[in-house]
Structure 1
């Protein structure tokens, strides 16, 4: 064999062997690079998932706080409205009672002035009807309360048959109790 051919065959064999060795090392490096890229991508995906989860949790908590705040405002509004309605109903009951008590007091004075006259019996019936209206209005006050106002109203109803000064005092006491109940004092 010719020396040149032998050298060429050796060179060709070395090139093939070197290519296989180089390819093996290149393939190993490429695999390590792909594994590193995969791991980096996995870490990035895990971090994105964790960040998204924290963001979703924070949004959920913020939504709950907002809903709680809106619910608290709604409760306060409803409570204020309920107190206003209760106050209006009580005020109407107190006004009606006071109006009927005043009408009964005037009927009593008219009856007393008509005693021994032809109008006496008619004035007596008017006073009795007015007293019945006072008792009916007193029952409404008893339902609406509170106890201080009920006590003052019962005292005013009893004072219809006392002196005018006793009636006036009982009337002032009822007004004071009613005002205190309506203003929350």
Structure 2
């Protein structure tokens, strides 16, 4: 073999070695680039998943707050309805007892006095029964006013005590039935 052939073989070998090594090097750089892209895509996907999770949690929290507020409002409305009925029943009983007492006092010394006294006394158990319901429903200031009104109907108490006790009960009942002030969010 001549010098030209040896040179050609060396050149061909160098070309093959360069092509092989260049492909490996190029492939290695391509693989490293693909891995960086995959890592970046994974991180972006993770951020999106975290953001979606946070948004879902915030939405669920908001829905829970709305549901809780709605339930609280319904409970309060139902409680007011029950209390109102208890207060109305109590007032109806006290008004009847007061009217019967007044009829008895107005008929003092007449033939109707005994019957009017009995009618007054017959009205008192309904007042006591309604007072027990008011005691159960409360609140404490309404209960205290109701007890004072019931006591103002007693035979031994002067009749002029009924009016102020009646007004005090109405005021306490209205306060208890008033809607609470709105709560700031």
TM range (shorter): 0.7 to 0.9
Q: Could you tell me how far apart the structure 2 residues matched to 1:121 and 1:144 are?
A: 36
The answer to which of 99-108 and 118-127 deviates more is: 118-127
Q: Could you tell me how far apart the structure 1 residues matched to 2:118 and 2:78 are?
A: 37
Of Structure 1 and Structure 2, the greater helix share is in 1
Q: State the partner residue of 1:170.
A: 165
Q: 1:160 aligns with which of 153, 166, 176?
A: 153
Matches within 5 A, 1:17-96: 17-96=10-89
Aligned length: 178
Q: Could you tell me how far apart the structure 2 residues matched to 1:107 and 1:179 are?
A: 26
Flag structure 1 segments of 5+ consecutive residues without an equivalent.
1-5
CA deviation string 1:111-138 (max 9, x = no partner): 3344555544443332222100000000
- TM-score by length of structure 2 reads 0.87
Flag structure 2 segments of 5+ consecutive residues without an equivalent.
none
Deviation at 1:169, TM superposition (A): 1.1
1:141 aligns with 2:134: yes
Root-mean-square deviation (CA, aligned residues, Å) is 1.9
Q: Could you tell me how far apart the structure 1 residues matched to 2:160 and 2:122 are?
A: 23
Q: Could you tell me how far apart the structure 1 residues matched to 2:74 and 2:97 are?
A: 34
